[in-house]
Structure 1
Amino acid sequence: MGSRTPWRAAVLVGALLLLATACIGPGTWPTTESGLRRAVQPRTTTAPPSTAPPTAAPPTPAPPTWETVFVDHFDGPAGASPDQWHHMPGWNAAALNGAGKLEVGHVAQIRSTPGWTLPAGTRVRVSASLVMPDTGSNYAAFWVQHPNGVDPRELDVIESYGPLKPTGAQLGSHICYDEMVGVGADACEVSGMPPELWPVGQAFADGAKPWHSFWEYHAEFTVGGDQVHYEARDGSGNQAYIVDSTPDPRRVPGNALPFHLRLSNKDVEPQYVVAGGARHSMLVDWVTVQVLYPTAAS
């Protein structure tokens, strides 16, 4: 056999080139980097990305939150005086019972050592968890006092005469004291400044009255406002009542002087004593004062 002729070699090379072109396919071309194994895709034109920054939405301001400015859980040894309170002259003191409760005994009255003067528009929420005496000879109360001798204001968050009295428990608002404007038990009424009182004992279920179990009592008002909101809930959030006072700016503590909290347990006058009951003390689990300061938007 002789050597291959040049024309046969040329035919063979041409056939190989045609075969390679058919495998690559139309519209593609092998790259120098990957040889025949990677095809170059047709180029497409895309618009350059925009350089203008997106318009940011204004941040949403956080809603205002309640701030606790006073709290007392009455922890401490039995017989100790509560640190954040002082007893009023002429009255007995109150003492811790060693089990996280304050016992406000017979003829006792104490006042919170701190007081609060707050900007107009501040919302105030005063709260306590307590159980009332079950007697018919004394009455106990948790109240807010604005001690202005010329313009007194008092909010009875809860006041109880006990299960043996028709009134039972009540809320109250006072803008006058009889001894300040005249003589007699109706001096404030005669002067056109009577108290506003709401009996609430009937709102509690049997067996869960204020002298049977602990309830949480709340009074909420706005400094410079004209109305007080009252409510009572048990430890599970069950509600006994909601009461809103008649609008009257004289019944809301102002900011001329600091207001204070009081816990008191008084005797009724002898002619109103009803025998019965076994517990003369009011037991207090905790007390708080929360505020919601005004914002520029409000």
Structure 2
Amino acid sequence: MAVQVHPEPARTSRLLSPSQILVFPAILLLVSFLVLPLLLITVYSFYSTDPVTGLMRPEGTLEQYQRIISSPIYRRVFFRSMEIAATSTSIALLLAYPVGYTLGRLVPRRYQPAALLLILVPFWTSYIVRTYGWIGFLQNGGFLDSVLSLLLPGRVQLDLLYTRAAVLIGFIHVYMPLIILPIFAVTRSLDTRLLEASADLGAPPWRTFWRVTLPLTLPGIVAGGSLFFIAVFGSFVTPQLLGGTGDLMIGNLIADQFGEAFNWPFGAALAIVITLVVLLGLVVLFRFARLEGFNETAVGQ
């Protein structure tokens, strides 16, 4: 019996699939504007600066990192930046959570686009313009002092400008939408049956919030808080315009090294250090959030 052999169809060889071709521009942009600049800054951090000419020399030294570790001045600036970022993030979370929850749960869905539009309006104006606006509001004899002088007897001078309070106010106003939007997105997708089940089982509203609502919205809190903290930790415009000389942050120090001191290797080393610290903090934070979510799931089961 003759065996009939069918020829195999010719295989078409393609270097890239259509999906890979569509992803390629995004990868190219990511590499061009994130990976390559970070690699360049990393290389610069191992350079040294000629004390006479001020030019960079490719020596492959750890001198810049040793300077950061050994000097108490830079450690104080680093911990001050951490303190300001953590304080403003905590206050912003307390203020943003009710707003995001209200937008996601209580506002009728047909009004949510308009409400979100009001939240996003600050992003439509320049960061510099918004920060300068607070100068006229907080300075001596400014708008806030004038209003309080009308309401209270005597001349009121709060003297808030160029203080830590002014810096916190500026950060919270500028970056608040970064927290509101993730909380709104998570709250909008909450399963209302879980809240109804908690109420049917006799749990008071505060217990329902603590045991059901808060754990379910934890991803939005972590995401929004992380975005806010990162933006504040590396910022230098708001502390420069609203803060005093005693509240120098790490972002101001890096900007001065690249701009005024022309010490690019030291500025690059500072940038790499804060990048590593932020990445380490994000890893710990997201592992904690994942562990908390696992524990809540186990308790619920």
Q: TM-score range by the shorter chain?
A: under 0.3
Q: Point out the structure with the larger strand share.
A: 1
Q: Point out the structure with the larger helix share.
A: 2
TM-score, normalised by the number of residues in structure 2: 0.24
